[in-house]
Chain A
């Protein structure tokens, strides 16, 4: 087997050095009944060619966005990946390293984390950020838990404009922590009242920008109302490219900003792995979950970085830790950081402008089609539309024409008949004007 370096002569020498006769003797501690049924009806080893054949056949059964124009979003976005980005993250020194527990020989990873933390803090408008969480949804749950620790209250309020997966993951986690989460109904029109629901029992209000249905809201007044009631404002960002063009959550007064970095870091990859972004105010860092890199000096006074504030973490604090997280999403955080570095301020802004312009162009085209109504008045690169027919059927018909024409809201809200005709559409820099025209033409035919 090509991944195993030992040969039979090595094995014989090593068994002799150990003083046993066979490899099976090394498993003598395991009781016989535990080993008796270890016979498996599974395939034996394959050559590279065979593995490639099997997996390529599976891959070929999927309709992929490099062969079909895609307008899918809903928290997972298709953007361009510069060639140098994938080269850098495939370097073995990044790809095959562990968490940087030995800082003297992990300065590359540690410096990259420190740069990532700074970039995340800058674009969210916050003071500090951690080294990453699993994804945006789990980061949202961690934010709710952290708000409850900070404020010492056990209730959270969640807007109906938050991504339904973020809502479900947070509600699930909080239920087991005996924290109450009031989740408001989906809000495609962007009309819900949050300020009026803030009471003195709330730890936090959780909102999203841009909203799940596309709306752009200024949460400055909401932040003030939260703070007046002693609660925190948590803002989710599922499309961080938007931060290149929009007022940051930090500028609105957010206390914790969480998000999904996938759109900047990696291809869509069926939704995972992504990278959870987590940023907050400096005064809350000792309540923050997750790994964090900090600056220090070595014995010769030279600048370097280490993992720090570990007294919050499970390997030190065990059941009193701020979270149980250890492995997070290091390589995807690196990819996020490399892409942000490649873009720089000018490129990040241009990318955001391009996304908005393509989405606005799509909206302009769709507004001319009978049976299509664009719901949000303001949006970034994604918006909900009300169709004259159920959206799920429309999407299936478009897929038969090799167009991935949006995500039906019913996929998330099967029990809300009023959302049956609502479709989420995204346009990014990857959608050419030709793609946009093709969708408009096809949609017009399907709806007529």
Chain B
């Protein structure tokens, strides 16, 4: 290949370098024209500030171009295949966005009289009905803002139930080694000690080891199912029975519920609480890191402890219970989130659910599992599957196929970037050596999967040549940036822009004058 051309501007055709907004400051400009304020008596006391804040001023075309250029430096589902395991990067229908922007949803206020927000409460109740029906669970807490927040909701219900039953001395939560990091972090936030349960050779929870740890100290067991190896916990029902026999509760991490929708009722697994990531299973956009929502379904044993707010209805219509400690919320553990929960996410999720219907949702979980197994079958020609047999919605390979090549999982991921794909999840789950975790989702065509398979197999074959480590270490070559120095970023953190020292000195002189 020829050397990359050096340009005067530093731009490279569609890859355009873009400074920070602070470096584009044109001084005094604004992209928003607002009217002059009416003349009135100010009532700010001595709290008025007249000093400059330091925000840059730009015109509208400059701002639009700035963010458009930034957007072009991002990979996204709209751009291409994003098989990031455990993250469920499926297509986000624009219908959901259109619905969330209806003035009757976007331009309503959490504290307007309940009589004037009946449609909003009905929407929340309808979504709750779908979630309860699809899981077979009697209750759902709608307010958690994300998956980890939903885990916290479930564990708070569990601790409240133990306290109410005189079992407050239970201080231990058991979590498998393969769990998401949020599980132990959540248990700790809920005041629990955490012990881990080993996995067996088949990638499932070692049930004998789990049973050996169960006892009067254990408050709950948290298990992801399908687990982070993409495998169904086949002994789930037996685990639930053992957990209950020991007086503990069974929390199921529902991050992977998308594999089960329409095929398994969670209640039939003996689950006491499970969060549902609306931004995974029900296709609300990930937005570069949120917002999501993590409604948490609850068993009859935990339902009374549900956090406020929650919607209720009678013959007169809908209402919302906003205060813990009395009435319908007598045993509620309190509040986790301001206002009425992630309402805008609820609108999008219901829009998706209604579009799919229960038949479409069942087809979706089937296609998601089919796509993952197709990747497993085809990639096994060169890669090393971490576990034998059928997987669920995601498939994990170990780095056995890279042995003695000098190429790492990270190198393969970076080479995939040059191939035009978003890499898979790397080095997770921790129980698989050098893990490559791939989740294709149901919204990818066979043609896309075949392209990805061709790239992946070619990279594996290249690595196996044995003398390609340097080539891999130099990837990515074609992205907006080469590999970034993460060590420097952490060692000398620069977390914000600051004006240059000369500018600061000039500003100080001006202030002094």
Contacts and interface: CB of A to CB of B under 8 A. Distances in A.
A384 to B, nearest CB: 13
B22 interface: yes
A257 to B, nearest CB: 14
A419 interface: no
B191 interface: yes
Contacts of B31: 82, 84, 341-344, 347
A318 B183 CA distance: 8
A323 to B, nearest CB: 7
- The size class of the interface chain B forms with chain A is 35 or more
A4 B363 contact: yes
Nearest to B335: A168
Interface in A323-359: 323-332, 334, 338, 340-348, 350-351, 353-354, 356-358
B66 to A, nearest CB: 7
A360 B292 CA distance: 37
A199 interface: no
Q: Which of A14, A344, A379: most chain B Cβ within 10 A? A: A344
Interface in A80-136: 82, 84, 86-88, 90-109, 111-112, 114-115, 117-119, 121-123, 127-129, 131-132, 134-136
B378 A117 contact: no
Nearest to A363: B43
A298 B337 contact: no
A338 B66 CA distance: 10
Given A98-B89, A324-B189, A344-B29, A58 B63 contact: no
B218 interface: no
A35 B488 CA distance: 51
Is chain B's binding surface mostly helix, strand, loop or mixed?
loop
- The size class of the interface chain A forms with chain B is 35 or more
B314 interface: no
A344 B57 contact: yes
B228 to A, nearest CB: 12
A243 to B, nearest CB: 8
B258 interface: no
A165 B358 contact: no
A162 B7 CA distance: 55
A425 to B, nearest CB: 12
A138 B145 contact: yes
B58 A131 contact: no
- The 3 lowest CB-CB distance pairs between A and B, nearest first, are A271-B339, A59-B104, A331-B287
A134 B146 contact: yes
B414 interface: yes
Nearest to A89: B287
A23 B485 contact: no
Given A54-B354, A247-B49, A319 B373 contact: no
Contacts of A302: 481-482
A58 B486 contact: no
Contact of B343 (A11, A45, A271, A353): A271
B49 A42 contact: no
B148 A308 contact: no
Contacts of A65: 107-109
Contact of B37 (A131, A218, A296, A357): A357
Interface string A300-316: 10101110111101111
A277 B100 CA distance: 23
Nearest to B44: A378
Interface string A21-45: 0010111111101111110111111
B166 interface: no
B63 A341 contact: yes
A46 interface: yes
A104 B55 contact: no
